[in-house]
Chain A
Amino acid sequence: MSAAARAPNTDKRARTLVTPEGIVLPIMLASRGSRAGALILDVMIIMFGLLAFYLVLIWIARGLLDGTGLDPAAAPRGAQEFMQILLALIGFFTWYGYFLVQELGPRGATLGKRITGIRVAARGGGRLTPEAVIARNLLRDIEVFYPLIALLVLAVMNDANEDAGPLGWVMTAWFALFLLFPFFNRDALRAGDIIAGTWVVERPRAKLADVLSAQGAAGARGASAITGVRYAFGEAELAVYGEKELQTLERMLRDAQPDALAAVHTAICRKIGWEPGSGDERAFLEAFYAQLRAKLEGDMRFGKRKADKFS
Chain B
Amino acid sequence: MKTPRISSWFGRGQLAAPPDIASATLRSDRFRLEREGDWRRLETIINRMERGGLRRIADDDLLALPTLYRTAASSLAVARETSLDAATLAYLEALVQRAWFQVYGPRQGFARWLRDFLLGGWSRAVREIWLDICIALFVMVSGTVVGWLLVAQNEEWYYRLVPGGLADDRVPGASREQLLATLGAEENAVGLSSFAAQLFSNNSAVSILAFALGFAFGIPSLMLLVHNTAMLGALLWLFASQGLLVELAAWLSVHGTTELLGILLAGAAGLHIGRAMAFPGTRPVLDAAAEAGRRGAVVMVGVVIMMIVAAFLEAFPRQLVDGAGSRFMIGGAMLVFWLSYFVLYRPRRIAESAG
Contacts and interface: CB of A to CB of B under 8 A. Distances in A.
A258 B4 CA distance: 11
A42 B101 CA distance: 23
Contacts of A221: 25
Contacts of A219: 19, 23-25
A2 B93 CA distance: 13
Interface in A135-152: 135, 138-139, 141-142, 146
Interface in B259-314: 273, 286-287, 289-298, 300-301
Interface in B100-143: 100-102, 104-110, 113
Contact of B100 (A19, A119, A134, A301): A19
Contact of B4 (A26, A107, A254): A254
Interface string B16-42: 101100011111110011001001100
B50 A208 contact: no
**Interface SS majority for chain B:** helix
B208 to A, nearest CB: 6
Given A23-B76, A209-B88, A134 B93 contact: no
A179 to B, nearest CB: 14
Interface stretch (A60-68, A159-167, A229-237, A289-297): A289-297
A118 interface: no
Interface in A248-286: 250-251, 253-255, 258, 282-283
Given A211-B33, A213-B25, A221-B25, A26 B290 contact: no
A195 to B, nearest CB: 3
Given A141-B208, A194-B290, A297 B26 contact: yes
A208 B88 contact: yes
A247 B330 CA distance: 75
A213 B29 contact: yes
A251 B204 CA distance: 55
Contacts of B70: 21
B172 to A, nearest CB: 25
Interface stretch (B193-201, B236-244, B249-257, B338-346): B193-201
B230 interface: no
Interface string A184-220: 0000000100111100000111111111111110110
B5 A210 contact: yes
B297 A132 contact: yes
A195 B25 contact: no
Given A195-B293, A250-B86, A296-B84, A101 B110 contact: yes
B294 A142 contact: no
Contacts of A123: 286, 290
B197 A85 contact: yes
Contacts of B355: 129
A100 interface: yes
Given A127-B106, A134-B297, A254-B87, A204 B98 contact: yes
B211 A138 contact: yes
Nearest to B204: A92
A86 to B, nearest CB: 9
A130 interface: yes
B191 interface: yes
A129 B294 contact: yes
B50 to A, nearest CB: 5
Contacts of A197: 286-287, 289-291, 293-294
A55 B214 CA distance: 38
B212 interface: yes
A296 B50 CA distance: 38
Nearest to B111: A101
Nearest to B28: A297
A297 to B, nearest CB: 5
A69 interface: no
Interface of A: 2, 17, 19-21, 23, 25-27, 77-78, 81-82, 84-85, 88-89, 92, 100-101, 104-108, 119, 121, 123, 127-135, 138-139, 141-142, 146, 191, 194-197, 203-216, 218-219, 221, 225-226, 243, 246-247, 250-251, 253-255, 258, 282-283, 290, 293-294, 296-297, 300-301
Interface of B: 1-2, 4-5, 8-10, 16, 18-19, 23-29, 32-33, 36, 39-40, 43, 49-50, 53, 70, 73-74, 76-77, 81-88, 90-91, 93-98, 100-102, 104-110, 113, 190-191, 193-194, 196-198, 200-201, 204, 208-209, 211-213, 215, 273, 286-287, 289-298, 300-301, 355
Given A77-B190, A84-B194, A247-B86, 16 more contacts: A17-B100, A21-B73, A23-B77, A81-B193, A88-B194, A121-B101, A134-B298, A138-B211, A194-B289, A204-B98, A210-B5, A210-B16, A214-B33, A254-B4, A294-B26, A297-B26
7 nearest A-B pairs in the assembled complex, by CB-CB distance: A197-B290, A195-B293, A204-B94, A135-B297, A131-B294, A142-B212, A206-B94
